[in-house]
Structure 1
Amino acid sequence: MTLNPFFVAVVVVFASAVTGCPVLCTCRNQAVDCSGLRLFSVPPDLPLDTRNLSLAHNRITAIPPGYLTCYSELRVLDLRNNSLFELPVGLFWTSKRLSHLDLSYNNFSHVVADMFKEAYSLVHIDLSHNPWLRKVHPQAFRGLVQLQSLDLSYGGLSFLSLEALEGLTGLVTLQIGGNPWVCSCTMEPLLKWLRNRIQRCMSGSEDYGEVCMSV
């Protein structure tokens, strides 16, 4: 029986996507390490069962739309120390299991509304050391009820809306130091909220079932 050449090609491509490792990267135990390779763009193909992806310490300026669509097993995504200034809409559409996301040391200026939409299993987000970060949309973290740790330290924030944090019912650790905060009346709701959470943490009480927070 003669096999259709197109069918053979499809099988070969699929097998390569399942088992192949990007050139120069290291793949082991469902972890793909492409860090420190001076990459200007993301590797085009990853093993489909990738759980841990590190693209840290490169020169990547953009993530293509739909880049993560095929990698529904992804748990950890490390994009620190690149040149990213935005993420494409719908990047996390299939990232239902993503729990740790590191975007530190990049060039983000805004955290837009629903930036992490669909990645509702996120436990940790690191946006620290983005020196141009000036604005966090009030609905930037909407739906992330499992988020426990959020790092917004060492950016360019002068204001942060309380609305951006109120929906994060699982938040335990919030890091916001190292920003040029402007202490005006618009910051009063956030300051009261933080003071209340910190005092409760120091006293050891947990009113209304809330988890105390360290800042």
Structure 2
Amino acid sequence: VNCTGQALSTVPRGLPVDTGILLLNANHLASLSTTTFQHLTQLQDLDLSNNGLVSLHTRTPLHSLKELILSHNDLGALPALQGLPALTHLSVAHNSLVTLAPGSFSAVPQLKDLDLRGNQLRTLPQEIFAGLRALEDLDLSENHLEELPKELLQDLQMLQTLWLSGNRLQTLPTGFFPRGHFFMYVFLTENPWHCDCNLRYLQAWIRQN
């Protein structure tokens, strides 16, 4: 169902109960609850981008939802993700996230694609991605990250692509990349890398990979 760009301030009533894809992007949905969609038992893809969204309450489970797009909104905090057990793709790009609470993603262990680019993140908890063993793509670019914890990637056994471009990183801690892990792509450009002894680990890793 395509409801893109219709100046909606509320979700339309009477949506077909067998709706699998719902496009609500480019409207004026400032606050929403998953209760609004609870009758859509087959809903798999939900696009809420470009709405000026400031809050999303997820108390009501959406057991079939696989893709949730929240990019280009005004979220200052990541919504709780309990009740979304099937979620594999999450985009919260270009919002106003300053920090992420430990355990933010513990309820979505099937997540494969996580897009957090274009926020205002400065630091990340060491175990923020713990348990995301299915994650393949992680985008942390265009934030304000100044340092990253050594154990950040340790649980990400399936990670193929990592974006760290456009941050404020000067170095990476020794052992940051899990030993023996093969990446398809790692993007490190547009950071103020400081070329001193602390950068030896990163230089050696790049040569070896």
One fold, TM greater than 0.5?
Answer: yes
Bigger share in helix: 1
Distance 1:118 1:154, change over 3 A: same
Q: Report SS of the residue matched to 1:32.
A: strand
Q: CA deviation at 1:155?
A: 0.3
Distance in 2, Cα, partners of 1:32 & 1:114:
28
Q: Structure 1 length as normaliser, TM-score?
A: 0.73
When Rg is computed on C-alpha atoms for both structures, the one with the higher figure is 1
Q: CA deviation at 1:29?
A: 4.5
| 2:25 paired with 1:35 | yes
| 2:88 paired with 1:99 | yes
> After TM superposition, what 4+ stretches of structure 1 lie above 2 angstroms from structure 2?
24-29, 91-94, 210-213
**What stretches of structure 1 of length at least 5 have no aligned partner?**
1-20, 197-206
Aligned-partner residue type, residue 77 of structure 2: E
Q: Report SS of the residue matched to 1:163.
A: coil
Aligned-partner residue type, residue 189 of structure 1: T
Aligned-partner residue type, residue 148 of structure 2: L
C-alpha contact (below 8 Å) 2:54/2:75 kept by paired residues: yes
C-alpha contact (below 8 Å) 1:72/1:96 kept by paired residues: yes
Identity percentage of aligned residues: 25
For residue 63 of structure 2, the aligned residue among 23, 48, 72 is 72
Distance 1:190 1:30, change over 3 A: same
Distance in 1, Cα, partners of 2:77 & 2:175:
26
Distance in 2, Cα, partners of 1:95 & 1:149:
19
CA RMSD of aligned residues (A): 2.4
Deviation digits for residues 86-126 of structure 1 (CA, Å, limit 9, x no counterpart): 134xx322322110000000000112211111200000000
Specify the alignment match of 1:48 in structure 2. 41
C-alpha contact (below 8 Å) 2:78/2:100 kept by paired residues: no
C-alpha contact (below 8 Å) 1:42/1:55 kept by paired residues: no
Q: Report SS of the residue matched to 2:173.
A: helix
| 2:111 paired with 1:134 | no
For residue 61 of structure 1, the aligned residue among 48, 54, 59 is 54
Q: CA deviation at 1:167?
A: 1.2
The alignment covers a number of residue pairs equal to 173
Deviation digits for residues 147-166 of structure 1 (CA, Å, limit 9, x no counterpart): 01000000000111121111
**What stretches of structure 2 of length at least 5 have no aligned partner?**
1-9, 187-209
Q: Structure 2 length as normaliser, TM-score?
A: 0.75
